[in-house]
Chain A
């Protein structure tokens, strides 16, 4: 069985050997990067610079909270607001793989700039097993390019360090609990963020819609789980579809977007079953989304696909 204490000990020793200069960690504030930061911090302390990039695709208030977390962990950190750069780079782009690759490359270029300024040699990433498995390699087909693996440009100056490469999320959570990190139970959130929850072209308006819808889905499901009405899913969110359908609002014709709700149960994201959410909970989510986003969204659907054949995120 996986032993978190033993992993921490061995991993810190290994990082001390491997990372011989200053290192930068790509810090999203999720379980993987936070655990990684804590391990590298134990190994090299002040030599580590945590960098959080606000891509403009983060969830409601997320980047603000990530900054608080970096402070709380006493990390030597940098906060970069790059939303304009990211939106510009994705103008007119509809293909999901292209989106992921553009985002992956943007991240790296930002890290490289900071690395140059601060004379950093190593880039630490919270990559875990499903990231490289799904990104594909010589033997494996590319399912989707995770921004931190398949999204990496071919030429880059930084040396990559990935202490969690052979682990799955449930094992990373065990380490997070052992290290008493407050993020141990956070649901996974993809590096490209809300950009891959807007199907088709990404615009600030569309991201704002899906951000609000994701917030409603999260709050309603967490409240229902708190009340014991359902088990908290592995992951739960909203996806904005580039399809418009007809509705009726106060005796007037409405014509708006469709939101899909996705919630799945899993331990490692390698296989998933769609969550059997009680109808009352879905009902509340549907009403709240269509009423709050009345001018934009007039239809809500629930995704009943397992993995396989689906993946968790739609892109």
Chain B
């Protein structure tokens, strides 16, 4: 059984991430972002999800111990919303308050096919809820998807299995959200 831990950054949908993984047959649990990396390693994890949360990564840059996880992880990491923004900043990108924040329904356009988006059409509906966004991509990342008002909706590390998503694949109204999780589970199995 694949084991994926959800790091709780205080998001409204952290528990939904846990639920989606559980429903897909993953051994999963939620852990607060204050635990040290060693505790996660001791759990024998195959992958990590960094949840979203209320912290304004665009303003403060703080997100518990997520930095330690990103520095040391040798397994796949999926950052969602604040988790994604933090990942970008950690690797040298820039996060700022969005000119046009997105809440609710948005059309996602995939720019570059990747394992994470297998089975997801070029255009699909996703659900958003963010005040900040990644405004400059870290040099070691590439952009996978965009929306009308947010150019970095999905990104991938060039050498490591690290992914960031601005939209929320864990909620019911994101059309292919479950598919994205299935793909991430596949990535964790490798």
Q: Which residues of A contact B (CB under 8 A)?
A: 1-2, 129, 133-134, 139-141, 143, 166, 168, 266-268, 270-273, 305-309
With a cutoff of 8 Å between Cβ atoms, the chain A residues found around residue B16 in the complex are 268, 270
A271 to B171 CA separation, bound complex (whole angstroms): 7
Q: Let me know if B138 is at the binding interface, CB within 8 A.
A: no
Instruction: Tell me the nearest residue of chain B to A171, going by C-beta.
Output: B19
Q: Let me know if B32 is at the binding interface, CB within 8 A.
A: yes
Partner of A308, one of B10, B14, B19, B103: B103
Q: Smallest Cβ distance from B14 to chain A, in angstroms?
A: 8
**B142-169 interface with A by 8 A CB criterion:** 168
A93 to B20 CA separation, bound complex (whole angstroms): 40
Instruction: Tell me the nearest residue of chain A to B127, going by C-beta.
Output: A271
**B6-22 interface with A by 8 A CB criterion:** 8-16, 19
Q: Smallest Cβ distance from A141 to chain B, in angstroms?
A: 4
The 8 residue pairs across chains A and B that have the minimum distance between CB atoms: A139-B10, A309-B103, A306-B104, A141-B54, A271-B171, A308-B103, A271-B173, A308-B129
Besides A139-B53, A140-B12, A268-B16, 14 new A-B residue pairs in contact (Cβ under 8 A), listed by A number? A139-B9, A139-B10, A166-B15, A266-B173, A268-B172, A270-B16, A271-B127, A271-B168, A271-B173, A306-B173, A308-B104, A308-B127, A309-B103, A309-B129
- Pick the most buried of A266, A306, A308: most chain B CB atoms within 10 A of its CB: A308
A1 to B105 CA separation, bound complex (whole angstroms): 27
With a cutoff of 8 Å between Cβ atoms, the chain B residues found around residue A308 in the complex are 103-104, 127-129
Whether A133 lies near B172 (C-beta < 8 A) is: no
Q: Which residues of B contact A (CB under 8 A)?
A: 8-16, 19, 23, 32-33, 53-54, 103-105, 127-129, 168, 171-173
Whether A267 lies near B172 (C-beta < 8 A) is: yes
With a cutoff of 8 Å between Cβ atoms, the chain A residues found around residue B8 in the complex are 139
A273 to B127 CA separation, bound complex (whole angstroms): 10
Instruction: Tell me the nearest residue of chain A to B19, going by C-beta.
Output: A168
Q: Smallest Cβ distance from A306 to chain B, in angstroms?
A: 4
- Pick the most buried of A143, A270, A271, A307: most chain B CB atoms within 10 A of its CB: A271
Q: Smallest Cβ distance from A22 to chain B, in angstroms?
A: 31
Whether A143 lies near B172 (C-beta < 8 A) is: no
Partner of A309, one of B53, B104, B173: B104
Q: Smallest Cβ distance from B6 to chain A, in angstroms?
A: 12
Q: List 6 A-B contacts (CB under 8 A).
A: A139-B8, A168-B19, A270-B172, A306-B105, A307-B104, A309-B104
With a cutoff of 8 Å between Cβ atoms, the chain B residues found around residue A307 in the complex are 104
Q: Smallest Cβ distance from B22 to chain A, in angstroms?
A: 8
Instruction: Tell me the nearest residue of chain B to A170, going by C-beta.
Output: B172
